[in-house]
Structure 1
């Protein structure tokens, strides 16, 4: 597969990573474990289950881990992206989209978002806990990855990180891994292709705010946003590139990083968009039952006499879901993904607030029509 990425320089793991992957592919999973290893595995599985209840608990777990281990950049990136996942989930029960989607569409879309959020957590979080236990015990436990069905690709990268820490390479590897992990399990899943992508494709791309990933932060008492927009959700290549751009937006500008961390630490994630814009959204419905929707916004400010838009908390919108076990199998088959370690050519500005405001205005216009679009 040809992958075309603009090049600035290579943070090159190609030599050692290719060789290490070849070696590890030939190593068989050990047949027996020590009592210490069994204890570590048991603890990690238990903690992962406890935190993998819903989007709010997952998002908090990422944040808590990052505060303890800021060298693991993906933990903050995962936290911020997971916040957006929660906002997308509650949008389905919010004031605007409730008028545009059928109940079946809402549940299909939520199932898709929740499964992806759950899958990524049950793959990524055990990696973090293995790293934590390795630090505590002053010896690496990454050989336990196969017992958690974690890719040999990540076992190799973490083992290298243990001896030669490089946050950039580890983060890009985790971006590649998590999106590749989702590809067959969610994106190519026939159920979701039929119920979500084929039926809701136009709505996903043109109407819903799903394709805007927002990183709020506060500066001089005003909430600002950085982020990126994804236009081809079904493309693994585009999702990986999006992850790289989001990483640049969050970590390349140290002021944005510090302010985003500060905002995230102060504002607990609830799933409601009130978390970042309480002047526009409220987790309590301020309208009257059955009233016709009226324009509330202009340039992301309430019109005179306008009321805030209902955006429920996750707890209010959706019950916890019991998930089936993750499908087995290692996504890693060949080394074509190495090209993704190339750094992006240009500084990513990340300005997204104007585009997001325009999306909200389009949603309002559709809601005002009081009918589902292209139903």
Structure 2
């Protein structure tokens, strides 16, 4: 039987809902909120993983209006891809951030308050994990459970959404991105003054199991000894703007340094600008996309099959940490496509 909140507890729930709504304004506010929380509570590893993955979501949103993908996608396609990325980013935050705030309130009151999670429309699955980890702190278990929870949460609401299936997944552009590995999750950090990129390449995004495994591999990379502290310092020193100039100002620029209408000229060779080449235009998110007013999240409990618990037992080995070489190849493939406009010729 669900316990009825007292007047004080109802006030806590309302405050959490209002604060979540305030910070769920756009990718920039969400991404900052995750980092701010992690810096207060570093035992909640998932919050920093969410911060870094959300940064990548913002970079992908800005890419749609950047110099390379702007030449390959129609206006409608850019809007569809943005809506897909934005909806997933928004949904995860509105589900996960109330959990983080309830943990904060539990710490403040020195007692677990996770029985209130159903009032915040949070799955029974993750409620039981929060309770367990309060009694027996286990940061890796909580992180993996949150990965499983959030990926299941968006499965029906985003991945199986008929509009996104038609306008995103069933498109040639998405198939090409998957085939050519156009998507990498990047974790930038500075190592003795040199920029390094850890991370993973994203494949089979439509597969729930593969997304969960990817999240677990990303966690093992990000919280590895050689990466974590340096990435945290980088994140603190580089506020998220959505522009890839945040991490690679030698290659990307928030200002278009060329003439947009001219045919694209190849600029990169082995991730270095060619002599005399201008930097690649990568705008800030707020310069190219307006804030979205979302419809309420679809109701429903995703945890109906206990076999998902096997994913908590399944151990993933460390993924490839250094992703820089793969990302350099991605940029060169995108440049070649922008130069030759091969994708557009196929679509025609």
- Shorter-chain TM-score bucket reads over 0.9
**2:85 is aligned with 1:113:** yes
Equivalent residue in structure 1 for 2:227, among 241, 244, 256: 256
Instruction: State the 1:355 CA deviation.
Output: 0.8
Equivalent residue in structure 2 for 1:283, among 248, 254, 257: 254
Number of aligned positions between the proteins: 345
**2:32 is aligned with 1:60:** yes
In 2, are the aligned partners of 1:95 and 1:309 still within 8 Å (CA)? yes
The residue aligned with 1:360 is 331
In 1, are the aligned partners of 2:181 and 2:202 still within 8 Å (CA)? no
Structure 1: give runs of 5+ residues left out of the alignment. Answer: 1-27
TM-score of the pair, normalised by structure 2: 0.96
In 2, are the aligned partners of 1:208 and 1:363 still within 8 Å (CA)? no
Instruction: State the 1:161 CA deviation.
Output: 1.1
How far, CA to CA, are the matches of 2:56 and 2:63 in structure 1? 10
The residue aligned with 2:5 is 33
The residue aligned with 1:318 is 289
The residue aligned with 1:274 is 245
After superposition, residues 338-353 of structure 1 pair within 5 angstroms as 338-342=309-313, 344=315, 346-353=317-324
The residue aligned with 1:202 is 175
The residue aligned with 2:190 is 218
How far, CA to CA, are the matches of 2:316 and 2:118 in structure 1? 35
**2:48 is aligned with 1:70:** no
In 1, are the aligned partners of 2:205 and 2:211 still within 8 Å (CA)? yes
RMSD value, Cα: 1.3
**2:213 is aligned with 1:241:** yes
The residue aligned with 1:227 is 199
The secondary structure found in structure 2 opposite 1:255 is coil
Structure 2: give runs of 5+ residues left out of the alignment. Answer: none
Q: In the TM superposition, what whole-angstrom CA distance separates every residue of 1:157-209 from its partner, at most 9, and x where no partner exists?
A: 00111111100110000000000001000000000000000013323313573
Instruction: State the 1:39 CA deviation.
Output: 0.8
How far, CA to CA, are the matches of 1:108 and 1:208 in structure 2? 20
How far, CA to CA, are the matches of 1:360 and 1:278 in structure 2? 15
The residue aligned with 1:190 is 162
Instruction: State the 1:292 CA deviation.
Output: 1.3
How far, CA to CA, are the matches of 1:49 and 1:213 in structure 2? 26
**2:105 is aligned with 1:150:** no
The secondary structure found in structure 1 opposite 2:57 is helix
After superposition, residues 34-183 of structure 1 pair within 5 angstroms as 34-183=6-155
In 2, are the aligned partners of 1:207 and 1:363 still within 8 Å (CA)? no
TM-score of the pair, normalised by structure 1: 0.90
Q: Which moved more, 1:337-346 or 1:113-122?
A: 337-346
